[in-house]
Structure formats: C-alpha cells, structure tokens
Amino acid sequence: MAELLRALAGKPTCCSLRHLAFLLVTLVLVLFGGSALGPRPLDPGPSAHAGKRHAEAQPPRGCTVLFFRMLYPQPTVLTSSRKDVLVLTPWLAPIVWEGTFNIDILNEQFRLQNVTVGLTVFAIKKYVVFLKLFLETAEQHFMVGHRVHYYVFTDRPADVPSVALGEGRRLVVLEVPGAARWQDVSMRRMQMISDFCERRFQREVDFLICADADMRFRDHVGVEILSPLFGTLHPGFYRATRQAFSYERRPQSQAYIPWDQGDFYYMGALFGGSVAEVQRLTKSCHQAMMADRANGIEAVWHDESHLNRYLLDHKPTKVLSPEYLWDEQLLGRPAVMRKLRFVAVPKNHQQIRN
C-alpha cells in the first residue's frame, strides 16, 4: 500500500485528486470488508435467537459430557479390600462380598448403559404363597433405582398377589402348566427360561436373574451382581473341599463331575447374566437332562447338578458370595457374613398346605 501511495504521488496533478478518491474507497473496502457496505440481514426474531442459543449450548457430536463430579476414596493398590475371604477366582472373576465394591460408582455406570433387569421366579402350586413377601422385599432391596421386569411363572395366575411397584418396574405373569413332583418343576424351569429368552426376554431386558420363590430380600442386591454369567456359592459348601461337594458322581449322567475336579459348589436358587448367556446355560442344562432321562437316570440334585457341570465347563464371569444366598435359621450368622442379602424364608408348612 505504501508503494501504491508513492507511485500515485509521482503522477500529474490533474489526475491526483481522482486517483486519491479511488484510493480512499479502496482502503475502506480493504479495511472493513464488503459486508460492512452490503445490506443487513433481516432480524429473524426472538424464537430464532433462542434456537441459536440452544444449538450453541449443545456439545459437539461425539463429545462425552460429564454432568457431575463423583467423590470417593482412592483405591489403594497395595491394600486388599478384604483380607478374610477370597475376592478373585483363578480365572480372574471377582467374588462379590460386602466391602469389595462401591455401589455409587456401579449405579452410575449401569445408568449410563440404560439397562433393564429381568427377574424370573417360579411359583407353581403351593409356592404361590411365597410370592407376596418375595415381591414386596424385592421392591425394597432389588435393583433399586433401575428398571425391573418381574416374570412370575405360575399355574395359578389368579393367586398372584397385587404388589405396589415403583416407577420403571412391572410385573408380568406367565401361565405355565403345573407338575406332579417338585423335582419336575425344578428341572422344567430350565426349558421354560430358555424358551422365553428366545420368545420375549431378549427383546425386553438386558440381564436376566433367576431366583427361587421361597426366599426374601433382606438387604441391598443391586447392579454389583450383573455380569455376562454369574453363579452363587452354596451356603452349605463355601468352606468345603471339592471332595465334599454334592456333585453328581455317576459317570452315566451328563452332570457327572469326577472327584478330582470342581471349583465351587453353586446353588440353583440364584444365577443369571446376560439374556444370551442365560439362554445358553438353560438350553444346555435342559438338553443334558433330556439325555439323562433317555438313559433312565436323574441327577442327584436335578437341575442344580447340571448347573454345576455347566459352570465348571463355562466359567462364570462373576461369583456371588454366600451373602447373596443364606439360611440364618440353619447356619447362624458367621462373622465373615457382613450382610445377609437374599435369605431363605422359614417354612410354615400349615400355611403352604392351606
């Protein structure tokens, strides 16, 4: 620009004024841009401004936004969370005890995943009397703050009690035929759960928990149990050696486990995982029981024996401690049990008969 001014200054006077005016106009255009001289856009009005402000407030696509700061004690690498119990299996699956997890962190993780949890319970014939306590205590302690579908399998749908449910929780009654023996009810549930996993559970829930009806929730049972596949340590065998486990020991059975094999003894009253994994487990157990029946044999502890065979071959990704399955009437309250979460209901046999 200085060179241009010097060049103009050396030209004849008659043209200098004309060129000087042209130069000033050029300077204005260069310094302020054509937009300053162009027409102003029409004011779009307050609603458009509000929309613009809203759009500017949104995070860029693909960005992660944290809406809170969670404060909690720092984990200490050199200090075990529990020194009195085993907290990790040899295949690196956590064993869940009180003191081994922070439920606030876990709740937030599963809320971000937007999970829905299904809970199946079989109330066939006389066992319908346990439903009211089971459901009422589940509302107090089971997956509080998360969406839950209760699936009640029963041959007496009219006897299913009405229980007040919290927001995001629903009760689904599935009518199924009864059976002459409790053993048949126990074994047939594997087939029914497998069938319903394919028919509806896979479309309605993310995780499926399978529990016995003659139990009640006594303390918190939440998302800390959720995993692709979990089993629960039997309260009567958590201290025992594998030789003392009541596995099926006859080689003729599909549930057979030799004396020198076995990790833990799992109870059939509480197991679960993702819908896909539960379907694989229940389908495999049902097929094994059908093979046994064809060979004229019935495993010593029915579906529980087949569950133990399956979990030996397909290691669970999480193991629940006996806190999650306890009978205080029979076993008392050892110091190692800091909480009793899911417990057996004392049986009133007169009530059951009525």
- Domain containing residue 265: CATH number: 3.90.550.10
Does 123 appear as a known binding residue?
A: yes
Q: What is the pLDDT of residue 308?
A: 98
In a domain, 55, yes or no: no
The residue range of the domain holding 189 is: 95-353
pTM for this prediction: 0.79
pLDDT of residue 348: 63
Ramachandran category for residue 221: left, alpha or beta (phi over 0 → left; psi -120 to 50 → alpha): beta
Q: Looking at the domain assignment, is residue 201 inside a domain? A: yes
* Low-confidence residues of the chain: pLDDT under 50: 2-17, 25, 28-60, 65-66
Active site positions, annotated: 304
pLDDT of amino acid 213: 96
- pLDDT number for residue 153: 97
Residue 34 lies in a domain: no
* Residue 212 counted as an annotated binding residue: yes
Q: Is 43 annotated as a binding residue?
A: no
**What's the structural domain count of the chain?**
1
- 327 marked among binding-site residues: yes
DSSP per position, 113-178: HT-EEEEEEEE-GGGGGGHHHHHHHHHHHBSTTSEEEEEEEES-GGGPPP----TTEEEEEEE---
For residue 58, is it within any domain?
no
Range 247-251, long-range pairs (CB < 8 A, 24+ positions): 247/300, 247/305, 247/308, 247/309, 248/299, 248/300, 248/301, 248/305, 248/308, 248/309, 249/300, 250/297, 250/300
